[in-house]
Structure 1
Amino acid sequence: MTDAQHVVSRGEFDAEFAAFVGGLGDGRTMTGVGGDDNLFDAGVLDSFSVIKLIALIENLVGRPIDLEQATIDIFATTDRIYGTFVGPGPANGAGGQN
């Protein structure tokens, strides 16, 4: 990773996230799952896949995320993930929650 932070649009994030989910196997998909739907309840994510997701986010934004501020609730929806770690305004991976 470089020190430069990457600007990732919501569309780019959604596409990368959908590809990530498809790569997890077990027939996981984002089909029918909206931005505010619970990813754990929908069977999209589990605690093990969150670890892989953290690596994806860090690669997308070009910086490490602050794991001390990363609660499991933040990973519950794509809206929260994007708003906290990727979207406009997150400072050092600790942006506001939507």
Structure 2
Amino acid sequence: MERIAEWLHEKNPGLDGPIGPDEDLIEARLIDSMDFLEFVDLLEELSGRSIDLQEVTIDDFRTLARVRERFLSAAG
């Protein structure tokens, strides 16, 4: 999760402090449509699996907790 937080801070240089696990990344505009595919690429790199965008919903990317559960856990 550290690499994801680093990426979010890189994309949002004005962001101070940690990102809470339940903070809505989309509502807070930490991920926008221009960065979304890059975010998916990062998750694929970290998980070692490809993400079929037809099998996920926007809610799967909404919080760090959900990202961890959906893409980075063994059962994801």
The one-character-per-residue Cα deviations of 1:41-76 (angstroms, maximum 9, x if unpaired) are 222111222211100011111121121122111111
**Does the 8 Å contact 1:21/1:28 carry over to 2?**
no
Aligned residues: 76
CA contact (8 A) 2:61 2:67 kept: yes
Structure 1 residue runs of 4 or more that deviate by more than 3 Å after TM superposition: none
Work out the CA distance in 2 between the residues paired with 1:71 and 1:46: 15
* Unmatched segments (≥5 aa) in structure 2: none
1:79 to 65, 68, 72: 65
Of residues 30, 35, 46, the one that matches 2:21 is: 35
Name the larger-Rg structure. Answer: 1
TM-score, structure 1 normalization: 0.66
Root-mean-square deviation (CA, aligned residues, Å) is 1.8
% identity of equivalent residues? 29
- Cα 1:77–1:61 change in 2 (3 A) is same
Q: Are the structure 2 counterparts of residues 64 and 79 from structure 1 closer, same or farther at C-alpha, using a change threshold of 3 Å?
A: same
TM-score scaled by length of structure 2: 0.82
